[in-house]
Amino acid sequence: GEAKETNQLCVHYFEALSTRANELANMTSKIKHAIKNQEFELYLQPIFDARADEVHGAEALIRWPQSDGSFISPDVFIGIAEQSGLILNISKWVLLETIKHLAQLKAAGFIGSIHVNLSTKDLESPEFYDFVEELVTNDPSLSDFIIFEITECAMMTNLEAARSMMQKLNSRGFEFSVDDFGTGFSSLVLLRELPVSQIKIDQSFIKDMLTQIADYAIVESTLFLATRLNCKVVAEGIEDKDLKQTLTSMNCDYLQGYYFSKPVNVNEFIHKYANEEKYRII
Ligand code: C2E
Ligand code: MG
Ligand code: MG
Ligand code: MG
């Protein structure tokens, strides 16, 4: 569409495209096949409450296991699914799979919410809205347990579609988190224009913030801005204790990263984190 062509700043999904058209066509039919044959798996990565030092929620991350035991990275196939329109089916699958496991998670004692990633195509799709609207009509509590994550890039690719979809879903109780905050060149506009209640600071700012003064300053300023805007902040990519302690002392609300846990399959998540006794990590 027009919006996509004029948006020169969101290039990462399109880089793969310019390479090999054949490979792209192959991958597209592989994804179709995978959807039909239920090859995808839902993984969950816990998100910790920095102050309470316990699991607060989790991010749903799709996994595509291959017969040789490896995984194709979502960074590879999500972009291709976007281009071919298959992303809608993937988003619906992730949402249904999340809902299916929510009952199990709740039964095990989990009281947090699950973050589900959406793409531009979802935001542009009336069919996607109808799908979610039917789910939340059937179970009005759903909007308390699902948070939608949308990257800045996805919001900016079609700002009007994002605004309209987000407002409609927001009026049905859903909240939104800006994913990869700071990487999209339009971060501040989004905070002013869209109903956003949470910011996820991209891991590229977190990673070196203890040694790079510019990264530290960006994280510090984002936390200040978020507080003034009544937004919660998640720091992504926490890989060690120093980062955890620093961000906790800076009053960052939530932390996510390998230091706490890699994404794990739902059974492992339930086993390790769903039970209230277990998920305290003090
Ligand atoms: P994202 O939404 O920003 O997700 C965070 C990514 O960072 C995940 O990669 C996660 O495994 C990784 N991560 C978490 N903690 C750490 C850490 O401490 N260090 C490092 N180096 N990485 C960490 P993953 O699962 O490979 O997903 C990559 C991207 O693919 C996601 O970025 C998201 O944009 C997309 N994606 C994944 N699952 C879905 C999905 O179900 N739907 C959609 N639309 N996109 C998805
Ligand atoms: Mg995300
Ligand atoms: Mg992110
Ligand atoms: Mg990302």
Secondary structure (DSSP) of 80-133: HHHHHTTHHHHHHHHHHHHHHHHHHHHHTT--SEEEEEE-HHHHT-HHHHHHHH
Partners of residue 248 on adjacent β-strands:
none
* Spatial distance between the Cα atoms of 231 and 11, rounded to a whole number of angstroms: 27
Find the length of the chain. Answer: 282
The CA angle 158-164-170, to the nearest 5 degrees, is 125
**Which pLDDT belongs to residue 3?**
44
Pick the atom of ligand 1 nearest to 81's CA: 44
Phi, psi (degrees; rounded to nearest 5) at 109? 110, 0
C-alpha distances in angstroms, 136 versus 43, 116, 237?
Answer: 23, 15, 31
**Which pLDDT belongs to residue 14?**
53
Q: Helix or strand or coil: residue 101?
A: helix
What protein residues have CB closer than 5 angstroms to ion ligand 2? 117, 149, 179
For 163, other C-beta atoms within 10 Å of its C-beta total 16
Phi, psi (degrees; rounded to nearest 5) at 21? -65, -35
Q: Distance, CA 33 to ligand 2 centroid (Å)?
A: 25
Q: Helix or strand or coil: residue 7?
A: coil
Tens of pLDDT along the chain (282 residues) come to 344 444 445 655 555 555 568 888 899 999 999 999 999 999 999 999 999 989 999 999 999 999 999 999 999 999 999 999 999 999 999 999 999 999 999 999 898 999 999 999 999 999 999 999 999 999 999 999 999 999 999 999 999 999 999 999 999 999 999 999 999 877 889 999 999 999 999 999 999 999 999 999 999 999 999 999 999 999 999 999 999 999 999 999 999 999 999 999 999 999 998 876 655 553
Nearest residue (by CA) to ligand 1, atom 32, is 75
What protein residues have CB closer than 5 angstroms to ion ligand 3? 179-180
Is the pTM of the predicted complex or chain greater than 0.95? no
Angle, helices 12-19 vs 21-36, to 10°: value is 110
**Which pLDDT belongs to residue 4?**
44
Write b or e for each residue in 116-153: b if 16 or more Cβ atoms lie within 10 A of its Cβ, otherwise e: bbbbbbbbbbeebbebbeebbeeeeebbebbbbbbbbb
Q: Which of 12, 44, 61, 62 to mutate to test the pocket of ligand 1 (most atoms within 8 A of CB)?
A: 61
Residue 90 CB-density burial (10 A; 0-12 exposed, 13-18 middle, 19+ buried): buried
Angle, helices 12-19 vs 74-84, to 10°: value is 80
Is-contact 206 219, C-beta < 8 A? Answer: yes
**Which pLDDT belongs to residue 19?**
58
Tokens read off for 240:
């060690």
- The residue among 256, 186, 200 whose CA lies nearest residue 232 is 200
Tokens read off for 105:
């998670």
Q: Which of 76, 78, 124 to mutate to test the pocket of ligand 1 (most atoms within 8 A of CB)?
A: 78
Share in percent of the chain as helix, strand, coil (round to 5): 55, 20, 25
Which residue type is seen at 11? V
Q: Helix or strand or coil: residue 175?
A: strand
